Each structure stands twice: as C-alpha cells, then as structure tokens.
Amino acid sequence: MRAMVVSGMALIAATYGLARFGYGLFLPRFTETFQMGSASAGFIQAGSFLSFCFAAVLALRLAARPRLVVVCAGATAALGSLGVAVAPDILVLAVGVVLAGSGAGFATPGLVTFIERNIAQARQESAQTIVNAGTGAGIVVASILMLLTTGQWRLGWAAIAALVALAAVATLRADQSAGRGRTVGRPPRVRVRDLTPLAWPIAAAALAGASSAAIWTFGRTVMASSRTGEETYSIIAWMVLGAFGILGATAGKIVQVWSLRTAWKLTSLAMAGATVILGVAPGIPLTAYTSVALFAASYTALCGVLIIWAARTVPDSAAEGTAALFIALAIGQALGSATLGALFDHVSPVLAFTVAGVLGILAVLPATKCQPDTSSRTVPRQRPT
C-alpha cells in the first residue's frame, strides 16, 4: 500500500503541482520573456485546463487499461514541460503549456483505478485523498525550482519534465496487480445517463473551478506586482501555498467526521474567502500568506471531497465519476481564467478577485441538492477485478 500511495502522490505532484499549476508560478517570467498581456495569459491557461478535460475524457475510453493511462499522463506532462523549456515564442509556449496540462487529466482516473486494485477497500478513501494532496507537494518543489533557476526559468521546466517521467515510472512499478491476469471490470465508455446522479456535483465543481482560477492563474502575478523588485516574497508565498495544500489529505477525515455536504460547504467557502482576501491585500505579508495557505488547504481538500463524492454517488463507476467531476472543475477553471484575464485589462485586481470569490460562494448551493445517501459514511464498493 505504501509504495502505491507514495508513488501516486508523486505523480499527482508532478502532473498537477509542477506541469499544470507551474504556469501560474512562472507567469511573471513568461510575461517578461514573451511580452504577453493578461488576456493572452488567461487564454493560455484556459487552454491548459481544456486539454485536461480532453485527456480525462480519453482516459475514460481507456479505462480498462489503467497502465496505459498512467503512461499517457507521464508522456504528455513531460513532453509539454520540455516544450515550455525550449519555447522560442509565445505560440510554442502555449502548445507546451496546453500539452503539459493534459497530463493531469490522465493521472487522476488512472490512479483511482490503481488504488482500487492495489489497496484494501476499507483504506481506499483515505488513500485517494492522500494521493490527491500531492498537488501541494508539487507546488513546493516548483517554488524551489523557481528560486534555484531565477533568471534561467527554462532549466526549471527541463527539471519538471524529468521529475514527471520519474514519477510515472515509479507509479507503474508500484502497481502490484500488473502481470497477474487481473483486469479492470468496467466498460470502456460511460453513457451520459450513467452520470445523471452527478448533475449537482458537476455544477458545484464547475463553479468552484471558476473561483479557483483567480489565484491559480494570477495569484503570484498580483503579489509580485504589489511589491516590485521583491520577487522572493511571492515565490515564498507559493511555497506556503504548496505546503498547506498537503493538508488537503484531511479531506477524507472531514467527510467521515461530519458529512460530505458539510465538507463541501466548508472547503468551498474557505477557498472563496481566501481568494477575496488576497485580491484586497496582496502586498501585506501576513494577510497574503494566510490567504494563500487557506486557499491551498481548502482547494486540495475540496478536490478530495470531489473524489469521495463521485465514489459514493456512482460507486460502480468511481474512476469515471471522478473524471467527470474533475472535468467540470477544469471547465470552470478554463472559463474563469479566460474571463479574469480579460477583466484584468479593465478592472482592478480587487474587483476581479471578488468576482471569483462570489463564484466560490455560489458553489455551495448545488451541494444542498445532493441526495442524503451521498452524505452517509458508507464505504464505496470495490469494482470487480
């Protein structure tokens, strides 16, 4: 179990924390190098989030071959990161960012299946949320790379490509069910009606995703511009964000102690509040660091709640359900990034981040419509193998 959880967490760290969310961390450097405005930056990030959706849909079609899905996660994230490292212009940069973002779309569905077939049923919810918290660890590593490669950001992205490849290989080696004749007993595709029970969770995920886009895409840029010449200030903030993101591993405990419905409300509202606070005071260290810490812990926990929400609502299609909710989250992030990027050219960061915070508050409403049994403490059934 330990090898699967550690390697899975490393893969999430590499594909999410590094290859996917590293864009926002390095955005000030990209802006300087390629002379791009807020609208262009927002659309590139939106493309990354949409490529995540495409990858997640493709992962559903390959659900019966989870090892191939994990290979795709590592290959796309590594190649995309390498493309960013060598990009001569904004077009190649955009292609690299979009390709790198798709790796995370493959990673989550593949790991959900790996955990199901390698870890005892009673420990699966806890394992899923711990693995999901790898995003925070990846962001810490990305921040360290940023500090070590100041002025040489291309070296940082070359290192990201290497780390992604290593994490994918380690995850494949940790799959103890490989080569033992075990197959994943699920259909290669999911019909729309199979996801009908997830209608409200999908709406909640989309709204939460749109809200989170403010900090993921423009958080460090806003902090860096608020204290000109003090880049270390905002990089350390990203390290704080990553470190507290690891606390998202407590999502499973929150759901077990209270309920899924309560866990979603707490994480969504906390994330919304943190977004507004950062928009209001990005240059005040105590306030800014507190807000990114709260955002990271609540966002990662929120993603963990989505995994459990899917597993409890459609227990016989947990991987497909998780992919559907993460696709909704990413679509919301894509729309949020594009919209906020356009807003930044016309309004103040305070107003833009407040709009994002309101969307996070609205994400609470769909949770009130979920069926009572999705708030129970039952453990999802393990899919036949």
Top pLDDT among 364 and 189 is at 364
Residue 213 above 60 pLDDT? yes
Q: What distance in Å separates the CA atoms of residue 301 and residue 130, rounded to the nearest whole number? A: 10
Please write the tens of the pLDDT for every residue from 135-181: 888 999 999 999 898 779 999 999 999 999 999 999 999 988 755 54
Structure tokens at 290: 């507190």
Per cent of the chain over pLDDT 70 is 88
The one-character DSSP state at 315 is: G
Q: What is the mean pLDDT of residues 362-369?
A: 89
Phi, psi of 21 (to 5 degrees): -90, -5
Residue 189 above 70 pLDDT? no
CB atoms within 10 A of CB 227: 16
Residue 61 above 90 pLDDT? no
In the prediction, which pLDDT does 18 show? 95
Class of domain 2-177+197-375: mainly alpha
Please write the tens of the pLDDT for every residue from 91-130: 999 999 999 999 999 998 889 889 888 888 878 877 887 8
In the prediction, which pLDDT does 347 show? 85
Q: Domain residue spans in the chain?
A: 2-177+197-375
- C-alpha distances in angstroms, 291 versus 204, 227, 269, 279, 287? 22, 17, 13, 10, 6
In the prediction, which pLDDT does 301 show? 83
Please write the tens of the pLDDT for every residue from 307-318: 888 888 888 777
- C-alpha distances in angstroms, 317 versus 83, 194, 212, 381? 35, 9, 27, 10
Q: What is the mean pLDDT of residues 264-271?
A: 94
Is the separation of the CB atoms in 168 and 70 below 8 Å?
yes
Structure tokens at 372: 């009572």
Query: Tokens 């493709």 label which residue?
Result: 58
Q: How far is CA 33 from the centre of its chain?
A: 26
Q: Is 211 exposed, middle or buried (0-12, 13-18, 19+ CB in 10 A)?
A: buried
